[in-house]
Amino acid sequence: MSTSQNWPYPTHIAHRGGGRLAPENTLAAMRVGRDHGFRMVEFDVKLSRDDIAFLLHDDDLDRTTDGKGLAGDRSFTELALLDAGGWHSPAYVGEPVASFQAVAQYAIANQIACNVEIKPTTGREAETGTAIALAARNLWQGATVPPLLSSFSEESLAAAQAAAPELPRALLVEEIPADWREKLAKYECVALNINQRDATQALINDVHAAGYRIAAWTVNDPERAALLLSWGMDAIFTDELARISPTA
């Protein structure tokens, strides 16, 4: 079944909100992405101990906040008191951990499309997929452009599919599985999101011929970005917001 008509998304996606220019997965990053002309952002979402959806890439707090240990063990009240910006640069000291709700509200108010990457704390794959999909349905109710849900976790994706089947999904893969067609069909995805190093003209053609879209992360070389787009890649995720510009 072809689902490629359900793709209202631009070609350039700001990775983790503001790429390298701002602390990843914060509201400040979303503003930087927008200020650089990006009309779409990608960010990573997981659950706090008390089931509040918030943005963080890693299981642990250590790399991108001043906290330590497993983020999913903390309540959102505890997470909200952490500094998620000081690791990046002094300009962002004090930037809080972002709730999914705040980022969704910002994006909708500013007409920024979103790729919500479901990034479950290890062991909480299904419940995270369900909770994020239901939250996304609620937050984007009545919005013109729905969020694109994606995950490396097939368990999360399946749970999102069951909870909110109407929201578009992408299968995220570290490597291209031989049975990508079967997986995309199983999870009723609109797209395959691949590591850019695996992109070829032939693969793009095959994915399109199968009725799906294809996007590549993370493209930080402007020449590579231009090449992939010339091959028909539907979207690229980039950290290089100044050098790989949607407005160039």
* Cα–Cα separations (whole angstroms), residue 178 to 3, 183, 239: 20, 10, 29
What part of residues 122-161 is at the interface with Mg ion (CB under 5 A)?
none
Binding residues for ligand G3P, per CB under 6 A? 15, 42, 44, 57, 117, 150, 172, 193, 217, 237
Residue of minimal Cβ distance to Mg ion: 117
What part of residues 35-74 is at the interface with Mg ion (CB under 5 A)?
44
Q: Respond yes or no: is residue 57 known to be catalytic.
A: yes
Whole-number Å distance between alpha carbons of 172 and 53: 20
State in angstroms the smallest separation of the CB of 128 from ligand G3P: 14
* Cα–Cα separations (whole angstroms), residue 248 to 10, 32, 210, 226, 241: 14, 17, 31, 11, 11
Out of 24, 95, 117, 239, the residue judged to bind Mg ion by CB under 5 A: 117
Pick what 74 binds: ligand G3P, Mg ion, none; C-beta below 5 to 8 Å, kind-dependent: none
Question: Residue 91 or 116: which CB sits closer to Mg ion?
Answer: 116
Q: Give yes or no for a contact between 33 and 19, defined as CB atoms under 8 angstroms apart.
A: yes
Q: How many residues does the chain have?
A: 248
**H or E segment and range at residue 172:** strand 169-172
95 binds Mg ion (CB under 5 A): no
**Of the candidates 108, 117, 135, the residue with the CA atom closest to the CA atom of residue 52:** 135
Pick what 217 binds: Mg ion, ligand G3P, none; C-beta below 5 to 8 Å, kind-dependent: ligand G3P
Around Cβ 231, how many Cβ atoms within 10 Å? Answer: 16
State in angstroms the smallest separation of the CB of 220 from ligand G3P: 12
Question: Residue 70 or 81: which CB sits closer to ligand G3P?
Answer: 70
Whole-number Å distance between alpha carbons of 56 and 117: 10
Q: Respond yes or no: is residue 36 known to be catalytic.
A: no
24 binds Mg ion (CB under 5 A): no
Question: Residue 166 or 174: which CB sits closer to ligand G3P?
Answer: 174
State in angstroms the smallest separation of the CB of 59 from ligand G3P: 12
Residue pointed to by tokens 């190093």: 197
Which residues of the shown chain bind Mg ion in the complex (CB under 5 A)? 44, 117
* Enzyme catalytic residues: 15, 57
